[in-house]
Structure 1
Amino acid sequence: MKKKYRNQARNTNYSAYLHPRWWPTWAGVAVMWCVAQLPIRFQWWLGKYVGLLAWRFAGKRRHITEVNIKLCFPELNQAQQGALVRNAFIANGIGLLELGIAWFRDPAKLTDITEVHGKEHLDNALAEGNGVLLLGGHYSTLDLGGSLITEYIEADVMQRDHNNPLMNAVMTRARERRYETVLGARDLRGLFRSLRKNRTVWYAADQDYGRKDIVFAPFFGIATGTITATSRIAARSHCKVVPFSHFRRQGKPGYDIYFHPPLEPFPSGDDLKDATEINRIIEREIRRAPDQYLWMHRRFKTRPDKNDPGFYGDK
């Protein structure tokens, strides 16, 4: 089947990006490609120092990370929280370099250092014939983990477009090589079309998208704006929602991919109950490797009361 990109507003034809204004982006892409060819151990070493540079100089992102870690891990003392912040930047620095592997190399070469756990849960869910929402999260292995799973399953993916059109074209074309269909983040028609075909669709619901269509469900004990779209999609399509996660091993190069039993009963008819269960599972997976989550995102930006002071020094 010919692979498709369903957001036609984005131009993925490289010939559209020959003007000199795109040359700095092309230079960045070239650097990513070159780094991706290096041995993975060296990439991890280099990624560590990329992360440490960001930890030292990206003051705004460090502040957001510090706030998130303090909110989510109050049981840690100040020194432990500081160490987790530093390690989170290292993990995400490595993840940044792993983008090059996901986009420019064949992930099949990493299967000998990758282990898949619980794939039977996905197989059993697909056997029911209504498709699967693969409920992921924003871990530091985001693109590489997603690319690796296509060595073991067929999947489609929903993506939020990159703000830089050329970088978006590179990202989309790379994903088109791995996924059967690349869906825009708002392409619900395409999503339901994939589910009707009994496809597996990678989907994430763990970021703050504002006040529209959310409930405030606990996440690390904090009332957190959580989208209700997952429940609506499952109710309409009768698909199964299968949580999955992916992590980089500690110490030596390697990756673990986890598929978990489908959410049952889901949807329950209670959006808050459903969102609470989704957050509980994502929190559980984060605790496997707390440093490998995208703590740089303002996850708690939207507060239950609009007049509540923001956690990040804003409203």
Structure 2
Amino acid sequence: MEHKASSSRRRPFDRASIISWLWNTLSGWSLPKLWRFASLVGPLVYHFSKRERRVTELNLKAVYPEFDTHTRRAMAKQSLRHSTATMMELGFAWMAEPERIEASILEVHGREKLDSARAEGRGVIVLAPHFGNWEVLNFWLSSHFPFTAMYEPPKIAALEPVIRHGRERMGAKLVPTNSRGVAALLKALKRSEAIGILPDQEPDWGSGVFAPFYTRNAYTATLLPKLVARTQARVVTGVALRLPGRGFAIHFLDADERVYSEDEVASASGVNASVEASIALDPAQYQWEYKRYRKVVEEQQGHPKAKSFRLY
């Protein structure tokens, strides 16, 4: 006698539907309420998420060796509070009414850097590190400029339509992280448009070089000098600084001059210095739980050999 399918095969846990429902629910919350909630959840993340706490504290120890343990621990707690707020604000950035998001952007600093570059017929490369709420930055850029950015589908495939719609709804064009995507970025820059690059995401082997990030070398992408060499684009760093419980301040900063170098190591060093300059706005708002020092290089018979870095 056959058992009914409902009794022998239970429906799998639908994470995508739950996450999408949560984003949609939180999209209706005010920013003060989201920040208060993040202030409650953030300490739980610090205490119970061992991986995030450990990586955050190790990164802070590596880049701020002059701070004592108490200071770094307090910064780690505040950093995870901000990271929690960013996750909770995703629904707001992707699903809330555009008028609400625009109203939450209380300050914009350095817009003239983008306007003047385009007036000169030059494209603009925006280095957008994982700082503050980068999805709000994407919203503002795609609302005010023709904007193209690379996009890698999420691990949970069912969430892709939700994320893609949220990022593209104001006109942004998302392109794949491959040669076809690079070609699209070049075309956008030649049309004097703006493009976005994640400067602090570790690239695959063969797509980067080692360059200083604070006190240690970090494996850094080399896409930027190739784009600059072929388009003469202007490079700026862009962030959406969180004003806790109130809104956001967009900042566009001049990139370190080394980003324009044809030498890949020099350019990558300029990229990392530019990220450092944006972090200085409020170090606690950087996503320190990312393993930025995952790779190191060891010279062996004149050839680089990869190995895991003992920091982690």
User: How far did residue 112 of structure 1 move?
Assistant: 3.8
Report what 1:224 is aligned to: 218
Residue 236 of structure 2, aligned match among 227, 232, 242:
242
* CA distance in 2 between partners of 1:163 and 1:50 (Å): 24
RMSD of aligned residue pairs (Cα, Å): 2.2
What is the number of residues matched between the two proteins? 294
* CA distance in 1 between partners of 2:308 and 2:19 (Å): 38
Residue 116 of structure 1, aligned match among 74, 88, 108:
108
Residue 81 of structure 1, aligned match among 69, 72, 78:
72
After superposition, give the CA deviation of every residue in 1:15-37 in whole Å (9 maximum; x if it has no partner): xxxxx658431122112111110
* CA distance in 2 between partners of 1:123 and 1:141 (Å): 23
Partner secondary structure for residue 260 of structure 1: strand
Report what 2:86 is aligned to: 95
**1:257 is the counterpart of 2:250:** yes
**1:178 is the counterpart of 2:177:** no
Report what 1:215 is aligned to: 209
Gaps of 5+ in 2: 1-10, 299-304
Is this contact kept in 2: 1:134–1:202, CA < 8 A?
yes
Residue 67 of structure 1, aligned match among 58, 61, 69:
58
Is the alpha carbon distance of 1:262 and 1:303 closer, same or farther for their aligned partners in structure 2, counting shifts above 3 Å? closer
Is this contact kept in 2: 1:157–1:179, CA < 8 A?
no
User: How far did residue 263 of structure 1 move?
Assistant: 5.5
Report what 1:157 is aligned to: 149
* CA distance in 1 between partners of 2:168 and 2:273 (Å): 32
After superposition, give the CA deviation of every residue in 1:106-127 in whole Å (9 maximum; x if it has no partner): 2432434421001111111112
Report what 1:136 is aligned to: 128
Gaps of 5+ in 1: 1-19
User: Aligned residues: percent identity?
Assistant: 24
* CA distance in 2 between partners of 1:265 and 1:311 (Å): 29
Partner secondary structure for residue 296 of structure 2: coil
After superposition, give the CA deviation of every residue in 1:50-94 in whole Å (9 maximum; x if it has no partner): 322221221112111111011011111000111111111100000
The 10-residue stretch of structure 1 (258-267 or 116-125) with the greater mean CA deviation from structure 2: 258-267
* CA distance in 2 between partners of 1:189 and 1:21 (Å): 40
User: How far did residue 308 of structure 1 move?
Assistant: 6.2
* CA distance in 2 between partners of 1:265 and 1:135 (Å): 14
Letter in 1 for 2:198: A
Is the alpha carbon distance of 1:140 and 1:116 closer, same or farther for their aligned partners in structure 2, counting shifts above 3 Å? closer
Residue 205 of structure 1, aligned match among 199, 202, 211:
199
Q: Which has the higher contact order (CA 8 A, sep 6+)?
A: 1
User: How far did residue 228 of structure 1 move?
Assistant: 1.2
The 10-residue stretch of structure 1 (94-103 or 211-220) with the greater mean CA deviation from structure 2: 211-220
* CA distance in 2 between partners of 1:79 and 1:274 (Å): 35
Is the alpha carbon distance of 1:51 and 1:179 closer, same or farther for their aligned partners in structure 2, counting shifts above 3 Å? farther
Is the alpha carbon distance of 1:307 and 1:201 closer, same or farther for their aligned partners in structure 2, counting shifts above 3 Å? closer
- Report the TM-score, using the length of structure 2 for normalisation: 0.87
* CA distance in 1 between partners of 2:152 and 2:42 (Å): 23
Is this contact kept in 1: 2:220–2:268, CA < 8 A?
yes
Residue 58 of structure 1, aligned match among 23, 28, 49:
49
**1:311 is the counterpart of 2:305:** no
**1:301 is the counterpart of 2:294:** yes
Report what 1:195 is aligned to: 189
Partner secondary structure for residue 201 of structure 1: strand
- Report the TM-score, using the length of structure 1 for normalisation: 0.86
User: How far did residue 153 of structure 1 move?
Assistant: 3.3
